[in-house]
A and B are shown apart, each in its own frame.
Chain A
Amino acid sequence: MTTELQNVPPHAEFSRKDLVTSNDVRWCPGCGDYAILNSLQRTFPELGVPRENFVIVSGIGCSSRFPYYMNTYGFHSIHGRAPTVATGIKVANPDLSVWIVTGDGDGLSIGGNHMLHLLRRNVNVTVLLFNNRIYGLTKGQYSPTSPLGTRTKTTPTGSIDNPIHPLLFALGAEATFIARTVDNNPKHMVEIFTAAHQHQGVSFVEILQNCVIFNDATWDPVYSKENRDSQMLFLETGKPLLFGKNKEKAIRITGLAPEIIDAATAAPNEILIHQPEQSSPLYSQMLATLGLPDFPTPVGVIRQIQRPTYESLIHNQGEQAKTKRGTGTWQELLHGDSTWTVA
């Protein structure tokens, strides 16, 4: 970074409470966002990044109030455009740890185009997409992730547009890190946020989040106490795909389709082993599509591959240009290729 800072005191350790701002948190009581906020406040002090190097960028929506509640640098931008602002910040100063907080409407409807390009460029930032399958801030209209037939004030007889699948969207854009977590499991959130931060490249994290007012219990079929053992597939690198209360069920591939089998009677090598680093998208795609009604919903890191980051490529091109042509001077700037002199 070229900007010189004055009077810089040494870095200080910081704790969770240092991240709490004096602003009143104005989410509805019982909103899933509280748990996500707490989990991120637990994550940041453990990442080894100075507090002043965190930047949280958001768009518009309930989740986008997030930066006001984190005592870091923050930018509450405009609807859907957080990925653009975050790209500018990260390209300007790659030393910063940049986090985008967005929702299903902000990130996949009005901002879908920017999300696509952020992911395919592989800007080294982390996207936390709060998916509650509803528009909360505008009081309960269906969102691009709402299931077909969702009845809201704008769809009194049910929504008719096929929902977008966030993980498949990210895969289509060839995001290098794709994960899913849930707002009722703080431990898992911290784990996933930490892994997302550590990934060098763009990290896309879908968080299944509950909107207590307009779409309450939308994820209960996946993660309620009664359902979670049978309906959640916790992914661990190098471990078999097992689920169920006693991990008694497993996933295998038959032909081109996944299938649930009995873990106890499975043949050796029959059960799929989780390999997020698989460069072929086939495995990640299969995994991403698992879910209700026939399969458990996977949570954890779906895919993690390595590719140079956008900002490092820009930086490298700049350095190579300086090596090749020398650092630009005033003389070169003004004179250009050809001049003439009038005496």
Chain B
Amino acid sequence: MTPTTRGFREMKSVVVRFAGDSGDGMQIVGERFTDTSVTVPNAIATFPDYPSEIRAPIGTIAGVSAFQVHFGSLTVLTPGDEPDALVVMNPAALAVHLYDLVEGGLLIVNAAAFTRENLEMANFMTNPLEDPAVLKKYEVIAIDITGLTLEALKDSPLPHREKLRAKNFFALGFTYWVYSRPLEPTIDYINSKWAAKAPDLAAANIRVLKAGYFLGETTETTRNRYMVARAEIEPGTYRKISGNEAIALGLIAGAKKAGRALLFSGYPITPATAILETLASYQHFGVKTVQAEDEIAAIGVALGASFAGQIGVTATSGPGMCLKSEFIGLAVSAELPLVVVNVQRGGPSTGLPTKTEQSDLLQALFGRHGESPVPVVAANSPSDGFRAAFEAVRIALEYSTPVILLSDGYLANGSEPWKLPDVASLPEISAPFADPSKPYVAYARNPATGVRIQAIPGQIGLEHCLGGLEKDLHGTISYDPENHSEMTRLRAAKVAGVANSIPPLRVIGEHTGKVLVLGWGGTHGAITSAVEALQAEGHAVTSTNLRYLNPLPPDLGALLKGFDKVLIPELNSGQLCMLIRARFLIDAVSLPKIKGRPFKISEIRTRILQLLND
């Protein structure tokens, strides 16, 4: 239990979760809390958790929307395990989220919403705010947020309905007081958003925000408040970025570096849609976007653009990947550049559209008919989407191949501060077209890399036909058995050769020891947090995160041999683990999780400790 003493209690990091009805504006207050905290500055990571129903009936459990923010004075790599504070706007939000709140955690509730009707909708027989067990377990602050909001706005000309909608800012203001955050960034935000268009609304929101803050100051004078000191953050210019935005920017950056125009075609699908939406606002960068009629068309349009000499990209999520697989096979056969982004979500089938999972790894590697190898890369944090997408574009163009970029719902919607890269530090991407002054052989290869050189429509004298039928060196259709065997080998060798262009593994810890924690994609934050904490406690544990899933890094085999045990946490049933066991003949240990949610640091920590103590 947190002792209730006057003054501030210093915390290294705090996790706050805002939860309410999907119409309660929880995403907005979460975003505001984040933007305010980055100005402190604190290290930060966020994760929104919203229902797949756009507007489920008000007050129901299906309609609960939440936003979690983790801020700290040290490194923050995940949105946090359990919240230290939970702000809930109605009983349904309490019902969904209370089990996550740490014992002794702060529970701020809008008491006005705990009516009999709302309690029934959340399946409460009695009011949990009157339950002695709840009051004992948590530090409950019940506030009539609705009433106080209306009171603060009694002189506002806004209609009653609009006044009620401002109550999220009351909750935000009070939370700012608890965590001693400045109000100015939010006031600036409100003014920039509404002052010109709707001055009464701007004034009302500011008034309510302040009322929430002042409530703390005037009535909660004996309450403990919390301080999170400034974080030691690497100097530089930062912005906040989500995984989907980072991927969009990385694609543009890769295309720019390569001197190719970017054509992106997608079909809306959760949680990948924001990539299409983001890129659609970059027309002045020469980006063209096509919202296609379906997933198949989206990849077809992208492949057509690549054939015409641009870099075609499409993005989707699990079910969409199934639909795209035939076209990926064509891109493998035609040996054309293409980037396919899969923002993974829970499956199979429609599965859990708004929840995260890493269960499409083996699909990415093997989910096509025939021998059809493609390079696979993965983003490991929201901002890392930029580098990962840039790298996908580089490999696609330099190796004239489709590339699958794996992200996931957790990375896509989560956001974190991103230190802007130095443009000069981005690698060059070189993929020249064929030389029209020389005879063109459609499937002739660069002897060093095995890469087919692309000629594009409009180039004089290089006319040729590409297609999905097996062909010989000249692009002529061939059913010759030896030729098919050789072409299969050449395509595989080209993709395997991508390994020559990738940097050494980034290893956190010693290169030998008792336990190696091997991860890929979005588990990076939780694994690193767990491993660094154990290292600080003196344990012989090391971790690394795979950017490249195909081909695997050339130095991975040696690293695996340096450890007694290899632990592979994944948000699937052990797909990478199966791959590592098969490729390296080691007894790797899987830590699977398939709950639609990311790993908690504690889950990984517990399993590592078990292995260390075995």
Contact = CB atoms under 8 A, between A and B. Distances in A.
Contacts of B423: 330, 334
B477 A68 contact: yes
B41 A87 contact: no
Interface string B416-437: 0000110100000000110111
Nearest to B297: A84
A341 B459 contact: no
Interface in B403-460: 420-421, 423, 432-433, 435-437, 456-460
A341 B459 CA distance: 47
Contacts of B299: 84
Interface residues of A, number: 70
Interface string B382-421: 0000000000000000000000000000000000000011
Contacts of A321: 283-284
A254 interface: no
B294 A113 contact: yes
A78 interface: yes
The 5 closest A-B pairs by CB, nearest first: A88-B304, A84-B300, A76-B467, A328-B285, A74-B465
A51 B459 CA distance: 10
B116 interface: no
Q: Which of A9, A89, A341 has the largest count of B CB atoms less than 10 A from its CB?
A: A89
Given A2-B261, A88-B302, A318-B284, A51 B463 contact: yes
A117 B469 contact: no
Interface string B238-249: 111100000001
Contacts of A301: none
A253 B81 CA distance: 76
Contact of A340 (B238, B293, B461, B463): B238
Interface in B323-345: 326-327, 330, 334
Given A333-B253, A338-B239, A77 B305 contact: no
Contact of A73 (B236, B312, B463): B463
Interface of B: 35, 38-39, 41, 233-241, 249, 252-253, 256, 259-261, 263, 265, 282-286, 288, 290, 292-294, 296-310, 312, 326-327, 330, 334, 420-421, 423, 432-433, 435-437, 456-469, 476-477
Contacts of B260: 2-3
A28 to B, nearest CB: 17
Given A93-B308, A113-B294, A333-B252, 7 more contacts: A52-B459, A67-B467, A92-B308, A318-B284, A327-B286, A341-B238, A342-B238
Given A7-B436, A76-B465, A341-B237, A322 B458 contact: no
Contacts of A330: 253, 256, 423
Nearest to A55: B457
A53 B457 contact: yes
Given A88-B302, A317-B283, A95 B238 contact: no
B285 A333 contact: yes
Contacts of A113: 293-294, 297
B467 A75 contact: yes
Contacts of A57: 304
Nearest to A68: B465
B327 A78 contact: yes
A88 B468 contact: no
B237 A340 contact: yes
A306 B174 CA distance: 61
A311 to B, nearest CB: 9
A341 B299 CA distance: 39
A41 interface: no
A199 interface: no
13 contacts: A4-B259, A52-B460, A87-B297, A88-B290, A88-B312, A92-B261, A325-B284, A328-B284, A330-B256, A334-B249, A334-B421, A338-B239, A339-B239
Contacts of A53: 457-458
Contact of A3 (B261, B421, B460): B261
A11 B458 CA distance: 10
B420 A52 contact: no
B285 to A, nearest CB: 3
A3 B334 CA distance: 20
